[in-house]
């Protein structure tokens, strides 16, 4: 099931990015709900919020280390709570989705634009939800043992 979740997130991320790249030009914005939510094609040279721009090699190396660590620790992850286990899988899927972009062009394709937040993509959502799920698992487990 974890492999299926990983593949669905990764394929969905890459398919939507491909659709955006094929149908839009960088900087183009299509309103879905005017002044609230747009699909905006942005090529991000950095990390979240554009931090560390043009450091592709750093992000590629960090992604490779993350994949290696996941593969090494995965046998132990299978014995963790479902929230932690699947949170790690979602985090990895998002990281790999953005890593593919960085290897391909050095830039990450972003497109969800809520006008009050930096533009982001499906991989970013997977990363955030994965980390949130892991934090929840850690806090919930600690709360259980404290009672």
Structure confidence by residue, pLDDT tens digits, 42-87: 999 877 766 777 778 888 999 999 999 999 999 998 889 999 999 9
pLDDT higher than 80, residue 119? yes
pLDDT for 145 equals: 47
pLDDT band at 144 (very low <50, low <70, confident <90, very high): low
pLDDT higher than 60, residue 138? yes
pLDDT for 146 equals: 47
Rounded to a whole number, what is the largest CA-CA distance in the chain? 55
Residues catalogued as catalytic: 110, 124
Mean pLDDT across the chain: 91
Residue range 28-32: mean pLDDT, rounded? 97
Please answer whether residues 42 and 111 qualify as being in contact, where contact means their C-beta atoms are separated by less than 8 angstroms: yes
Q: In what order do the strands lie in the sheet with 108-113?
A: 29-33, 37-44, 108-113
HEC readout, 86-108: HHHHHHHHHHHHHHHHHHHHCCE
% of the chain exceeding 90 in pLDDT: 80
Please answer whether residues 14 and 100 qualify as being in contact, where contact means their C-beta atoms are separated by less than 8 angstroms: yes
pLDDT higher than 60, residue 107? yes
């Amino acid at each position: 099931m974890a492999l299926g979740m990983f593949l669905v997130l990764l394929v969905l991320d890459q398919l939507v990015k491909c659709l955006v790249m094929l149908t839009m030009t960088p900087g183009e914005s299509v309103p879905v709900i005017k002044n609230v939510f747009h699909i905006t094609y942005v090529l991000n040279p950095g990390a979240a919020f554009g931090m560390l721009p043009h450091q592709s090699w750093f992000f590629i190396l960090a992604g490779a280390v993350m994949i290696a660590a996941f593969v090494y620790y995965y046998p132990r992850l299978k014995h963790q709570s479902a929230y932690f286990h699947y949170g790690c899988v979602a985090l990895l899927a998002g990281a790999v989705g953005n890593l593919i972009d960085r290897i391909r062009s050095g830039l990450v394709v972003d497109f969800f634009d809520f006008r009050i937040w930096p533009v982001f993509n499906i991989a970013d959502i997977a990363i955030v939800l994965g980390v949130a799920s892991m934090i929840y698992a850690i806090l919930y487990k600690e709360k259980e043992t404290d009672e």
